[in-house]
Amino acid sequence: MNRIYLDHNATTPVDKEVLKAMMPYFSEKFGNASSVHEYGRVGKMAMEDARDIIRKFIGATNPDEIVFTSGGTESDNFAVKGAAYALKKKGDHIITSSIEHSAVINTCKFLETQGFKVSYLPVDEFGMVDLQALRKAITDRTILISVMMANNEIGTIEPIEEIAEIIQGRGILFHTDAVQAVGKIPVDVKRLGVDLLSLSGHKLHGPKGIGALYIRKGVKISRYQHGGHHEKNRRAGTENVPGIVGLGKAVEIAGRDLKKDADYIRGLRDRLHKGIEDNIKHIRLNGHPDKRLPNTLNVSFKYLEGEGILLNLDMEGVAASTGSACTSGSLEPSHVLTGMKVDAADAQGSIRFSLGKENNKEEIDQVIRVLPPIIKRLRSMSPLYQG
């Protein structure tokens, strides 16, 4: 069976060029980047080249503003906890949104157990953060705002520049989780006006287990991981040189191909959306109609459970994802969709299709062929569906 992968927001295949660039750093160039001898210097040079590629790509000024981490989750933890602890004397209030990834939400929940207070901003029907609510939430005790650049479930792109403008001059640190944005849309830390920005390798055809945190020069956040003096004393642990080289290559490719790939993928995404709209009734697009990642299509199929659709798609060789998270065996509607006030029944029937550069028209047309009969069959069995 020809398998069709439409789950790129979960992870992406490593690009061939990326793999090729990484390979020598597992074997002949295996040195520890902190060693002073030639083996170490080779690793260090490759690491610094990658750092500079990332610096340029996100519009940072200084390579030291990029700290390598083990991925998006660590970058988010580092940013949020690091900022909270560093600014504890100044205040104890953090603002985030109600639709963040669990890497931010659960870090904030943890900080609440440590005495910090957190405001979770509401979003509108498209998943856009409510700026009026943000203005109201800010107090003299606010030390950090963390709002994601693009949402992983619905693809909505948040008004980061506007948020930066609102908080300008108030001494509040601004973090954005750009894990889903980097590699899909342009990201420029200066234009965005952020102090801290998280990114992750495996979402842009790089390897898993590598990411980075941008820390604007002059911003001091507390260490998150203790040990050696790696990464200028900010993140302890032997550097993952092959991963870093892979991340650098993935970012270099994104810099070269971003617009071309985004246009191509958007075309396929819109073809899929139209195919679904033309052939299936009672659907709902989740996420902003325009201000949305070019690869993401989240649709609710009314009267159905997403899991049933997903399993049937999988049997047809199509890999997608549901909007609902399966935690410890219990199916809960997605916090993103409930945050957008999508009613519970619609939230249950949501499917996220997230496309990538290796998808093609034939694959999309195949999905448009297999999906309508699946929906028809499942609805014919659904007690909720009246025809």
Residue 7 within binding range of ligand PLP, rule CB under 6 A: no
Residue 156 within binding range of ligand PLP, rule CB under 6 A: no
- Judged by CB, which is closer to ligand PLP: 74, or 363? 74
Least gap, CB of 231 to ligand PLP (angstroms): 17
Annotated catalytic residue 326: yes
Let me know if 170 is exposed, middle or buried by CB neighbors in 10 A (0-12, 13-18, 19+).
exposed
Q: How many CB atoms lie within 10 A of CB 171?
A: 11
- Judged by CB, which is closer to ligand PLP: 111, or 283? 111
Residue 200 within binding range of ligand PLP, rule CB under 6 A: yes
- Judged by CB, which is closer to ligand PLP: 212, or 241? 212
Which member of 58, 179, 250, 337 binds ligand PLP (CB under 6 A)?
179
Q: Following DSSP, what letter does each residue of 228-263 receive, concatenated?
A: S-HHHHTS-S---HHHHHHHHHHHHHHHHHHHHHHH
Q: How many CB atoms lie within 10 A of CB 267?
A: 14
Query: Residue 88: which residues within 8 A CB-CB, separation 6 or more?
Result: 143
Which member of 180, 295, 300, 321 binds ligand PLP (CB under 6 A)?
180
Residue 318 within binding range of ligand PLP, rule CB under 6 A: no
Residue 240 within binding range of ligand PLP, rule CB under 6 A: no
Number of residues that bind ligand PLP (CB under 6 A): 14
Residue 176 within binding range of ligand PLP, rule CB under 6 A: no
Indicate which residue of 45, 311, 315, 326 is catalytic.
326
Residue 148 within binding range of ligand PLP, rule CB under 6 A: yes
Least gap, CB of 148 to ligand PLP (angstroms): 6
Tokens for 180, please give them: 């889903």
- Judged by CB, which is closer to ligand PLP: 94, or 374? 94
* Contact (Cβ atoms closer than 8 angstroms) between residue 276 and residue 301: no
Least gap, CB of 243 to ligand PLP (angstroms): 11
Name all contacts of 84-88 with Cβ < 8 Å and 24+ positions apart: 84/111, 84/116, 84/143, 84/144, 85/221, 85/222, 86/220, 86/221, 86/222, 87/143, 87/144, 87/173, 88/143
Least gap, CB of 149 to ligand PLP (angstroms): 8
Looking at 15-23, 177-185, 247-255, 359-367, which segment touches ligand PLP (CB under 6 A)? 177-185
Chain position whose Cβ is nearest to ligand PLP: 72
User: What gap in Å lies between CA 310 and CA 321, rounded to an integer?
Assistant: 7
**Contact set for ligand PLP, span 63-122 (CB under 6 A):** 71-73, 76, 101, 103
Closest by Cα among 107, 184, 101 to 147: 101
Residue 211 within binding range of ligand PLP, rule CB under 6 A: yes
Tokens for 277, please give them: 């709209």
Which member of 98, 107, 152, 359 binds ligand PLP (CB under 6 A)?
152
Query: Residue 298: which residues within 8 A CB-CB, separation 6 or more?
Result: 153, 154, 155, 285, 286, 287, 323, 350, 351, 352, 353
Residue 184 within binding range of ligand PLP, rule CB under 6 A: no
Least gap, CB of 130 to ligand PLP (angstroms): 19
Which member of 7, 177, 252, 346 binds ligand PLP (CB under 6 A)?
177
* Contact (Cβ atoms closer than 8 angstroms) between residue 242 and residue 26: yes
* Contact (Cβ atoms closer than 8 angstroms) between residue 206 and residue 190: no
User: What gap in Å lies between CA 13 and CA 5, rounded to an integer?
Assistant: 10
**For the CA atoms of 361, 362, 364, 366, what is the dihedral angle to 10 degrees?**
160
- Judged by CB, which is closer to ligand PLP: 98, or 152? 152
* Contact (Cβ atoms closer than 8 angstroms) between residue 235 and residue 78: yes
Least gap, CB of 102 to ligand PLP (angstroms): 8
Q: What residues are paired with 215 via a beta bridge?
A: 196
Residues designated as active site: 326
Q: Where does this chain bind ligand PLP (CB under 6 A)?
A: 71-73, 76, 101, 103, 148, 152, 177, 179-180, 200, 202, 211
